[in-house]
Amino acid sequence: MSSTIQTAAELLVREWIKAYNKAPRVTVVATVLSMLIGGFSIYFSDQAARESREAKRLQNFSYAKQVQSLDETRASLQSLLEFVDNEKRNLQVSQQTLQALKNEQERLKPLVESDRKTIDALFSAQEARNQAAQSTERWIGFGLGALSSLVASLVWAGIAYATRRNKSDTAA
């Protein structure tokens, strides 16, 4: 189909060029006039079709349909108003709850701050005990390390003495 259109378009262009070569002014004037006539005919046919559709739409839209449409609009608006009223009530309840929570916070704030001071004091005391226990554990670890080193040295010295004694007994 598109090749047929393309072939027809090519033929039309070739014929136009031939006509232009023979009589350029007449060809240009004829082309412009045919384009104007074509444009006006398309415009006026579209305008007539639009007016026809509008007239048909207006005929179909009777008074009963208009009243029905208005009733539906009224029902929708009433539903919307009910929704808005409901949301207003919910907002008021939320606002009251928020105010009650703020009041409760203000009432409990001194108690929380005093508890915080107590907790900080408890943590400080616990930290001091932990540091004392840590220091004690380090001294015990140091003492046990030194004692075990002394015991190991004594055992080593005993083994060395026994080995020397056996060598001197076997040599004699």
pLDDT (average), residues 32-42:
90
Overall average pLDDT of the 125-151 stretch: 89
Those residues whose C-beta lies under 8 Å from the C-beta of residue 27, and which sit 6 or more positions away, are: 16, 19, 20
The reported pLDDT for the residue numbered 170 is 78
Average pLDDT of span 17-22 = 91
Tokens 């004829």, located at residue = 30
The position carrying tokens 């002394």 is 150
Instruction: Say how many CA atoms lie within 13 Å of 163 toward its Cβ.
Output: 6
Token output for 141: 């670890």
The per-residue pLDDT for range 75-86, each reduced to its tens digit, is: 999 999 999 999
Amino acid at position 150, single letter? L
Say how many C-beta atoms besides its own lie within 10 A of residue 31's C-beta.
Answer: 13
The answer to whether 28 and 20 have CB atoms below 8 angstroms apart is: yes
Task: pLDDT band for 95, please (50, 70, 90 cuts).
Answer: very high
Q: What is the pLDDT of residues 100-133, one digit of tens each?
A: 999 988 888 877 777 777 888 888 888 888 888 8
Question: What is the pTM (predicted TM-score) of this model?
Answer: 0.31
Please count the residues of the chain: 172
Residue 23: left if φ>0, alpha if ψ -120 to 50, beta else—which one? beta
